[in-house]
Structure 1
């Protein structure tokens, strides 16, 4: 083997090893038979603070600012769900939504909403929906959260600390 081919081979082996280390143990779970998958009962919406929000990139045309409070992020590695509170701030209102992302399927769900500091209202007819609408366009904030650090591809990150670090750095991982 030539010296150049040996260096290329070593680079490939190193890249494969780094990729294997990038997904933490337990971050992937079996989701092969969706009929067997069952969601756990979501806990009540956690308290949030608008002064702690990590901004979510939104389209330039939007006057609404969106952010997620890092202290509300909860990971259930067993079910593969990341739950969080996202806050929308406009010129005249501040509204919140308690949601979940399921990395394995690229879906999100809304559990409850809060309008302008009022009580949380449970969303009883909420179902898991794709982070892409029927035309293939991303539903902006769940997609950005999944891609921005809540998921590693189709695997859920198991550490809230790691999710927060990734969301703050603004690095975009490959996602769907």
Structure 2
């Protein structure tokens, strides 16, 4: 005959109570309460499970800020810069037009002069993080105000190319405006760097 002491009975009752409590708090295989698991598995519009977890190291979507066209450039203010490739053109930037936006876009006016005296004046932007450029406006010969870019590419950012003839935007990015994928500094530093390495006129 097997006998149980009071101590054994109390231990058995305690073990039974714990087992009942655990079974009432049953969770799914994912370790989430059932209602939370269903919410996590609810698909989004693209058919993928929704998730509230955000990766702090993921690239943030680019959102461009508003752009205001600068004053027209004056020849006496221009800072020349060299472009690799033995170009016959002369290149210069208007320092008063250089800005670094909250969106980390470097905006500037560039003046390109041919050996025959023809000029091409544009207002552009550079994204260091994507190594892309965008054309905002041009200043045709004889014009007294900027002409906004109304072409099909007016809202497009285009990849810059290095090692090609007259790649002035890529030169500005790699030599003056960018340090890797980040902007090299505020506008005053970019201007100082341009002046420090400006070729003689």
Identify the residue that residue 21 of structure 2 maps to in structure 1. Answer: none
How far residue 38 of structure 1 moved from its aligned partner, in angstroms, is 0.9
Residues of 2 paired with 1:41 and 1:65: CA distance? 30
How far residue 112 of structure 1 moved from its aligned partner, in angstroms, is 0.3
Gaps in structure 2 of 5+ consecutive residues = 1-56
- RMSD after superposition: 2.4
Residues of 2 paired with 1:31 and 1:99: CA distance? 28
Residues of 2 paired with 1:139 and 1:38: CA distance? 29
Aligned length: 137
Report if aligned partners of 1:52, 1:70 keep a CA contact under 8 Å in 2: yes
Identify the residue that residue 68 of structure 1 maps to in structure 2. Answer: 93
The two structures have a TM-score, normalised by structure 1, of: 0.68
How far residue 117 of structure 1 moved from its aligned partner, in angstroms, is 3.7
How far residue 121 of structure 1 moved from its aligned partner, in angstroms, is 1.4
How far residue 115 of structure 1 moved from its aligned partner, in angstroms, is 1.5
Q: SS at 1:79's partner residue?
A: coil
The two structures have a TM-score, normalised by structure 2, of: 0.61
Deviations 1:138-174 (Å, cap 9, x if unpaired)? 8611111112221111111341111011122339xxx
Report if aligned partners of 2:87, 2:165 keep a CA contact under 8 Å in 1: no
Structure number with greater Rg is 2
Deviations 1:42-71 (Å, cap 9, x if unpaired)? 112332112222212134543221100111
Residues of 2 paired with 1:106 and 1:45: CA distance? 23
Gaps in structure 1 of 5+ consecutive residues = 1-29, 172-176
Residues of 2 paired with 1:142 and 1:80: CA distance? 16
